[in-house]
Chains A and B, each alone.
Chain A
Amino acid sequence: MKKIKEQIYKILFSVLAFSSLLFLIGIVFVLFWQGLPILKNIDVVGFITGQLWYPTHDPAEFGILPLILASFWITLGAMFVCVPLGIGSALYINEIANEQQKSILKPLIEVLAAVPSIVFGFFGMVIVAPFIQKLLNLPTGLCAFSASLILGIMAIPAVCSVTEDALSYVPRSFREASFALGANRWQTLTRVIVPAAGSGISTALMLGMSRIVGETMTVLMVAGGAAVIPTSFFEPVRPMTSTIAAEMGEAVIGSPHYHALFAIGLVLFLITLVINVIAEIISKKYRVKLGLSR
């Protein structure tokens, strides 16, 4: 009787574990199945390098270069915000903060992660964008800069917690050896601990980057929505995610517009896949270099 129960539990848990794999395969399959038919209307090079996105015009134009570049610029800008703030706060919490400060800061950063992205978007559209508009005398505050700022702040908790965990995994012996050799705290921090936690930190950065690339509601409300190749950081842009969100509701199922939106989703998925693969490679290199067998 007990043996059968154990078998049942074993099967149950394997099913649950493999179900996520199943969902992933399902999603990839649907993306390819619904996204590839756009190649009937336009070839791959034309789709990715075309500069005009007018899917409902007659004749329709499906060039997504402005969308890809917009996602790229916003991600880059957001990384500039979240890398110093995220890694910096992790370093502070792990190395410099005393117990009391730690107990306040850590929960607060977790709370920042709990704020829904639509609230960030609303906050950005109503408060941050007009503020930046007045501060920098721009024609409009709904631009790549505002979006990057808010997305960077949204990604801080992810980057900070993973980096903090990575730093805490560095063995005490590293620290002690460094002090024994006469290094001061700053030298120990920058030349011993951070490189030792390198694989964890790069994972944290990639996690932040994936979060930023995939963010939809915030950029929908704050980035401005102009499907044009950005010439400056302070112009309205339209990333891939907000294009899909804005237009999917009305695209007639089976129309070229519908397939084009799925194709954008496919491109987005492939970009995130590449980012994750690069992260794995970097993190493996760091592990081998330091001889940490984790």
Chain B
Amino acid sequence: MKKSLVAIFLATVLAVNCFAVNKKIVMDGSTTVLPIAQAAAEVFMDANKDIEISVRGGGSGVGATSLVEGTCDIANMSRSMKDSEIQKAAGRGVIAKANVVAMDGIAVIVNPSNTVSALTKKQVKDIYTGKISNWKQIGGQDVKIVVISRDSASGTYEAFGSLALDAQKVRSDALTMASNQQIAVTVSNTPGAVGYVGLGFISEKVKALSIDGVIPSKKSVLTKEYVYSRPLFMYTNGSPKGDVKKLIDFIKSPEGQKLVDEQGFVALK
């Protein structure tokens, strides 16, 4: 009697699961786009109770691989897809389509106790490629520079490499962190540190430097005055359709762009 009750209960639970009507959208990839994706997902799910959105972040590279393998519907990326990724996608029958959802500036941040407030593009490149190792060489205190970078899965890493370093190698003794947030936390804890994060990750705990005289801000990114400006993408398989299209249209709409702005990034208009 007891055994058959347990069996019936299990069968019912499993059967009910099969009838679950929640449609699912999976977003994966960039940790820069992550706050935008999460904010949009929350508002979207409130307005559409039958759609379930899950957002993951492992870096733009992870998003690209995920889209190619079909394990996500939207790949958040803070860089454009590489040719090799597009080819791999085509080989699997996935046509990667880019949808620009916001603009972003990569800010170079230092600890608030650092006396340096401005750098030139060349100085940033020299710090990150290993030519400058002490803050006193660029007018700061006599403190060793602790260079912080991202690991290779990061779109911000690739974007910074092409915008700031002219595709040269980051110095081999740079620390590597897994996300924008981790860089922000480490820079705020380490007096001699320098790191790079998306605009939305600047807070009072870190100091954003002006590069070539331009302070990173929404205005200077929109007018392209700030040198490290870049678009943020959401890649889909082919043109967005159905619920995915609804979500991306929502993010591009004035209401969605307001969320982008609230998260600290730059809205498209």
A interface residues with partner B (beta carbon < 8 Å): 52-58, 66, 129-130, 133, 139-142, 220, 224-228, 235-236, 238, 246-247, 249-255, 257
The contact string, 1 if C-beta is below 8 Å from chain A, for chain B 148-177, is 000111000010000000010100111111
CB atoms of A249 and B62 under 8 A apart: yes
CB atoms of B175 and A249 under 8 A apart: no
CB atoms of B175 and A224 under 8 A apart: yes
Residues of chain B within 8 A of A140, CB atoms compared: 146, 175, 186, 190, 192-193
The answer to whether A249 and B153 touch (CB under 8 A), given A130-B189, A224-B175, is: yes
- Give the complex CA separation of A251 and B158 in angstroms: 14
Interface centre among B64, B84, B175 (most CB of A within 10 A): B175
B86 to chain A, nearest CB (A): 11
- Give the complex CA separation of A228 and B176 in angstroms: 11
CB atoms of A55 and B152 under 8 A apart: yes
Q: Can you name 13 A-B pairs with beta carbons within 8 Å? A: A56-B158, A57-B169, A129-B189, A130-B189, A133-B189, A139-B192, A227-B172, A228-B172, A238-B176, A246-B152, A246-B176, A247-B152, A250-B61
Residues of chain B within 8 A of A66, CB atoms compared: 172
In the complex, the number of residue pairs spanning A and B with C-beta atoms less than 8 Å apart equals: 85
CB atoms of A225 and B61 under 8 A apart: no
B interface residues with partner A (beta carbon < 8 Å): 58-62, 64-65, 68-69, 84-85, 88, 143-144, 146, 151-153, 158, 167, 169, 172-178, 186, 189-190, 192-193
B37 to chain A, nearest CB (A): 17
- Give the complex CA separation of A129 and B146 in angstroms: 14
- Give the complex CA separation of A142 and B182 in angstroms: 12
- Give the complex CA separation of A235 and B146 in angstroms: 10
- Give the complex CA separation of A257 and B153 in angstroms: 12
CB atoms of B151 and A247 under 8 A apart: yes
B195 to chain A, nearest CB (A): 11
Residue in B69, B153, B169, B173 whose CB lies within 8 Å of A54: B169
- Give the complex CA separation of A291 and B153 in angstroms: 56
CB atoms of A250 and B173 under 8 A apart: no
CB atoms of B186 and A252 under 8 A apart: no
CB atoms of B175 and A250 under 8 A apart: no
CB atoms of B175 and A142 under 8 A apart: yes
Residues of chain B within 8 A of A133, CB atoms compared: 189-190
Interface centre among A57, A129, A140 (most CB of B within 10 A): A140
A75 to chain B, nearest CB (A): 20
CB atoms of A225 and B169 under 8 A apart: no
Residue in A52, A130, A225, A249 whose CB lies within 8 Å of B58: A249
Residue in B59, B85, B143, B173 whose CB lies within 8 Å of A249: B59
The answer to whether A225 and B176 touch (CB under 8 A), given A250-B153, A252-B68, A252-B85, is: yes
Residues of chain B within 8 A of A228, CB atoms compared: 172-173
Residue in A52, A139, A250 whose CB lies within 8 Å of B64: A250
- Give the complex CA separation of A130 and B190 in angstroms: 8
B83 to chain A, nearest CB (A): 11
- Give the complex CA separation of A7 and B151 in angstroms: 55
- Give the complex CA separation of A31 and B136 in angstroms: 48
- Give the complex CA separation of A224 and B190 in angstroms: 13
CB atoms of B173 and A139 under 8 A apart: no
CB atoms of B65 and A249 under 8 A apart: yes
- Give the complex CA separation of A235 and B61 in angstroms: 28
Interface centre among B65, B151, B153 (most CB of A within 10 A): B151
CB atoms of A235 and B58 under 8 A apart: no
B140 to chain A, nearest CB (A): 14
Residue in B65, B169, B173 whose CB lies within 8 Å of A235: B173
Residue in A55, A129, A226, A252 whose CB lies within 8 Å of B172: A226
The answer to whether A226 and B58 touch (CB under 8 A), given A247-B151, A252-B68, is: no
Residues of chain A within 8 A of B68, CB atoms compared: 252
CB atoms of A249 and B61 under 8 A apart: yes
- Give the complex CA separation of A140 and B173 in angstroms: 12
CB atoms of B190 and A255 under 8 A apart: no
Residues of chain B within 8 A of A235, CB atoms compared: 173
Give 18 A-B pairs besides A238-B176, A255-B84 with Cβ atoms closer than 8 angstroms.
A56-B152, A139-B144, A139-B190, A142-B175, A142-B186, A220-B178, A224-B176, A225-B177, A226-B172, A226-B176, A227-B172, A246-B153, A247-B152, A249-B65, A250-B59, A250-B62, A252-B68, A254-B88
B185 to chain A, nearest CB (A): 8
B39 to chain A, nearest CB (A): 23
- Give the complex CA separation of A53 and B152 in angstroms: 11
Residues of chain A within 8 A of B178, CB atoms compared: 220, 246
Q: Can you list the 3 inter-chain pairs with the closest CB atoms, starting with the nearest? A: A250-B61, A225-B176, A250-B153
User: Nearest B residue to A255 by beta-carbon distance?
Assistant: B84
